[in-house]
Amino acid sequence: MESTMKAAVLKDLETIAIEDVPVPEPKDGEVLVEVRASALCGSDLAGYTGQHSMIKWPIILGHEASGVVAKCGRGADNWSPGDPVTIEPLFTCKKCHACRTGKYHLCSSLKFAGHQVHGTFAKYAIAESGFLHRKPENVSFEEAALTEPAASPLHAIERCDIRLGDFVVIIGSGVTGLFALQYALSKGAEVLISDPEEFKLKIAGDFGANYILNPGKQDLRKRVMAITGGIGADCVVEAVGISETLASTVSFVKGGGPILLIGYSEKESEPFDLSTVTLAELTVLGMLAYFNDFPAALKLMSLGRVKAGPIITHRLPLESVEEGIKMMKRKDQGIIKIVITYDR
Residues of this chain that interact with Zn ion (CB under 5 A) are 41, 92-93, 96, 99, 107
Nearest distance from C-beta of residue 312 to Zn ion, angstroms: 14
Give the three-class secondary structure for 145: helix
Q: How far is the CB of 338 from Zn ion (least distance, A)?
A: 12
8 Å CB contact between 164 and 186: no
Give the nearer residue to Zn ion in terms of CB position, either 93 or 225: 93
- For residues 107 and 122, which CB has a smaller minimum distance to Zn ion in the complex? 107
CB of 63 to Zn ion, least distance (A): 6
Residue 310's contacts (CB-CB under 8 Å, 6 or more residues apart) are 203, 206, 207
CA–CA separation, 328 vs 204, rounded Å? 20
In 3D space, the residue among 162, 167, 165, 191 whose CA is nearest the CA of residue 253 turns out to be 167
- What span, in angstroms and rounded, lies between the C-alpha atoms of 131 and 105? 11
Mark 322-344 as b/e (b = at least 16 C-beta within 10 Å).
Answer: bebbebbeeeeeebbbbbbbbee
**8 A C-beta contact, residue 76 and residue 26:** yes
φ, ψ of residue 229 in degrees (nearest 5) = 65, 35
CB of 110 to Zn ion, least distance (A): 7
C-alpha distances (whole Å) from 234 to each of 214, 257, 259 are 21, 6, 9
Q: Is 42 exposed, middle or buried (0-12, 13-18, 19+ CB in 10 A)?
A: middle
**309 residue type, one letter:** G
Q: In Å, what is the CA distance from 138 to each residue of 84, 119, 300?
A: 12, 26, 11
With respect to Zn ion, which residue has the nearer C-beta, 88 or 322?
A: 88
Rounded least distance, CB 66 to Zn ion, Å: 14
| Separation CA 251–CA 249 (nearest Å) | 5
Q: Which is nearer to Zn ion, 224 or 327 (CB)?
A: 327
Residue placing its CB nearer to Zn ion in the complex, 92 or 147? 92
Smallest distance from Zn ion to CB 44, Å: 7
Q: Minimum Å distance from CB 17 to Zn ion?
A: 22
DSSP summary character for residue 130: G
Instruction: Tell me the closest approach of the beta carbon of residue 81 to Zn ion, in angstroms.
Output: 27
